[in-house]
Amino acid sequence: MQNICVYCASSSKIDSKYFETARELGAILAKNDLRLIYGGGSVGVMGVLADSVLEDGGKVTGVIPQFMCDAEWQHDGLTELVITETMHERKEKMASLGDAAVALPGGCGTLEELLEIITWKQLGIYTKPIVIVNVDGYYNHLIAQFKQAADELFMRPQHLQMWAVVESAGQILDAIANAYSWDESLRQYAKI
């Protein structure tokens, strides 16, 4: 494992606990010589996470679509900035570069990225670990929705093993290391 893809928010108006989690994760990634792969933004949790990795001597690859660069949303101090044409290309590139996907609390964009990577895993397209960081119960409703989907057979109970849920940044690397093994053959569970 060398690269960790992190989905996170660009909001600067959120509670400080989310910024603290991002700072802690950044320090952990740098200390463990793990490259951050993220959406390339300079503000909100995205900016704090990237700055934390860089301040602790780590490496950061941002992946951002051209229209966001045109709006000057990109972080200009990264180790590497990959510019894509579309949001779809951005998500595919981030997933392909990462050896695991981590979702910090976030809004629509973060939720969409998380649900897409889970869908890809269900279909056997993505087989790497996924970790949901449930800071102060932020994702409780989503986790309950997943359980309801399995209970009502919109997905199988086995699908609930596609991700791990942790409460803090300090638990992420252990969750990745202990992730349930998933491979392409398990796409059979996608059909109910």
Q: Which pLDDT score, from 0 to 100, does residue 188 have?
A: 76
How far is C-alpha 85 from the geometric centre of its chain's CA atoms? 21
Domain harbouring 177, CATH code: 3.40.50.450
Secondary structure letter of residue 181 according to DSSP: P
Token couple for 159: 């699908």
pLDDT at 27: 98
pLDDT value of position 40: 98
Domain that holds residue 72: 3-190
The residue ranges of the chain whose pLDDT is under 50 are: none
**Per-residue model confidence (pLDDT) at position 169:** 98
pTM comes to: 0.96
Number of domains in the chain: 1
Query: For the chain, first and last CA: distance in Å?
Result: 33
pLDDT digits (tens, 9 = 90+) for 25-44: 999 999 999 999 999 999 99
